[in-house]
Amino acid sequence: MIILHDEDTLLHETVELLGSKLIPAFESPSRIKAIVQSINHSGKHDLRTITASAADQTSAVELAKATHSTGYLSHIQHVFKQWLDEGLVEEHGSVLPECFRLHNTANSKLKPPKDTFARPGYYAFDMSSGISQHSWRAIIASANLAVQAAHLLLPTSPTSASATNGDETEAKSVLALCRPPGHHCSGQQAGGYCYINNIALAITTFRHFSPPAQKTRRTSNPHFSSTSRLKFAILDLDFHHGNGTQELFYGDPNVLYVSIHGEDEFPYYTGAASETGPPAPDPAHGTNLNLPLATGSSFDEYLRKLHVALQAVRDFKADYLLVSLGFDTFHLDPLGKFDIRTENYKVMGWQVRSALRDIPGVIALEGGYVVDRLGENLLNFLEGWEIAE
Ligand code: OKP
Ligand code: ZN
C-alpha cells in the first residue's frame, strides 16, 4: 500500500474537556508517531513521508474553498495569533469557544461576531476542536495528504505511479495518514477534532483534475474544470457518525455517503437511519445511508451492517471510493463502544476490498485513540485489504 505521511501533521496539539477537567486531547500527535513506527517496523508498505511545498499549501487552501467558507478558513488560520496578541491565550495554550451560536428565529442571517474572543463559538460546534499555535500548519498538511492521495489515483497525473511504472502497476489505493481528521466538519464549523474535511478535498481534487475524457462541462474558472459525471462512494468506518461529510454531500446525487457508527453516540444529533437524503423526487434521495449499531455490538453484528453497506456501495457504481477509516471501533477505545478486536480488522479490510476490488480508493485516517494498538490494528486492516486487492 502506498501510505502518505507529513511530519507537519504532528504540530497540532490541543486540549479538551473530560468531565470538568481540561486534559490533553485524545487526538494527539503520538497516534501518528505510533502508526509510522509500526509501518516502518513491518517493512511491508510503501511509506512516503512528504512535506507540503508552499505551492501545495496554496493549492490545498484553494481546494478547501470548495468545501469551507473563506471566513471560516481565515478564522482557523488566524485566530490563535489574534488571541495571543490580545493576551487571551498563552503561547502553549489553546483557543476554545466560550459560547456557541444559537439557532433561533431572530438570527437566521447571523454574522460572525466582531469580537475575537466570541468568534470560536461561531465557527465550532463543540469543545473538542481547540486551536493551538501551529494547528493551521498541521491542518493544511493533513488536507494536502488527502489531495496528494487523490492525485496518485488520477489516470494522467504526473505524480501517479503509472507515470513511472507503466499501467499495470498504477496505484489502486492510497492511504493518507491524515491528522487532524476530517469527517465531523462541514462548511463552517469545526468539531470532533476536525477542521478541514479531508475526504471532501480528495473528491474536489478528483473533480478538478480528472482528464478531459471524463469531463462533461467546464466551469467559468479557467484554472479548474469541473466534472459532473464522476461518482463517488464514501464509506465511513469510524466509530462516530461523520456528520460533516454527510452534510456536505447530502444534496449531491453523485456522492453516496454510507456510515456504520455507534447509535446515539457523538455527535448525537445526526446519524439516524431516517437520514436518507432529500425527499424524492430529488435525485439525491437515497444517496445517504446511515447504519447505526448498538453500543457493545460484537464483530459479527458489525459484519452484518458492513455487508449492507458494501452492497449499497457496489450498487452505486462509483468511479472512486473514499474510506473514512477510524480505529475507535476497537474494544479498548476510550471513545468507542464496539467489541472489535485486532484480528477482526484483517477480516474487515478483506471484506471491504473484496467487495469493491476494482474501484480506485483513497483511505483517509479518522479516529482511533488506543495509541499503542493503533499500528497493529491498521496493519491488520491493510493486510486484509491487500489480500483482496
Ligand atoms: C472524533 B472522531 C471527550 C469527548 C470527546 C469528541 C469525540 C470526537 C471523535 N472529551 N468528544 O470521529 O474519532
Ligand atoms: Zn471517531
**In the structure, what pLDDT confidence band is assigned to residue 215 with cuts at 50, 70 and 90?**
low
Distances in Å between the Cα of 99 and the Cα atoms of 65, 82, 185, 298 are 26, 18, 18, 39
Residue 108 included in any domain:
no
Answering whether pTM is above 0.90, one says: yes
Structural domain containing residue 369? 2-103+114-159+169-216+228-388
Q: Which of 68, 75, 184, 208 is catalytic?
A: 184
Residue 223 included in any domain:
no
Interface predicted TM-score (ipTM) of this complex, two decimals: 0.97
pLDDT of residue 224: 47
Is residue 141's pLDDT more than 80? yes
Percent of the chain with pLDDT over 70: 92
DSSP conformation letters of 32-73: HHHHHHHHHHHT-SEEEE----HHHHHHHHHHHTTTS-HHHH
Residue 78 included in any domain:
yes
Distance 333 CA to ligand 1 centre (A): 11
pLDDT of residue 361: 98
The angle formed by the CA atoms of residues 244, 248 and 252, to the nearest 5 degrees, is 145
3-state secondary structure 119-171: HHHCCECCCCCCECCCHHHHHHHHHHHHHHHHHHHCCCCCCCHHHHHCHHHCC
Residue 120 included in any domain:
yes
Is residue 385's pLDDT more than 80? yes
Residue 318 included in any domain:
yes
Domain count, the chain: 1
CB of 27 closer than 8 Å to CB of 180? yes
Is residue 3's pLDDT more than 90? yes
Is residue 156's pLDDT more than 70? no
pLDDT of residue 211: 86
Ligand 1: nearest atom to the Cα of 18: 10
From the CB of 193, is ligand 1 less than 6 Å away? yes
Tell me if residue 249 falls in helix, strand or coil: helix
**Atom 13 (ligand 1): residue with closest C-alpha?**
367
Per residue in 318-335, pLDDT (tens digit) is 999 999 999 999 999 999
Per residue in 9-57, pLDDT (tens digit) is 999 999 999 889 999 999 999 999 999 999 999 999 999 999 999 999 9
The angle formed by the CA atoms of residues 349, 128 and 370, to the nearest 5 degrees, is 40
Residue 6 included in any domain:
yes
Residue 164 included in any domain:
no
pLDDT of residue 175: 98
**In the structure, what pLDDT confidence band is assigned to residue 168 with cuts at 50, 70 and 90?**
very low
Find the CATH number of the domain harbouring 277.
3.40.800.20
**Environment of ion ligand 2 (residues, CB < 5 A):** 238-240, 326, 328, 367
Q: Hey, which residues does 95 pair with through a beta bridge? A: 131
Residue 233 included in any domain:
yes
Per residue in 54-108, pLDDT (tens digit) is 999 999 999 999 999 999 999 999 999 999 999 999 999 999 999 999 888 787 7
Average pLDDT over residues 143-161: 83
pLDDT of residue 214: 63
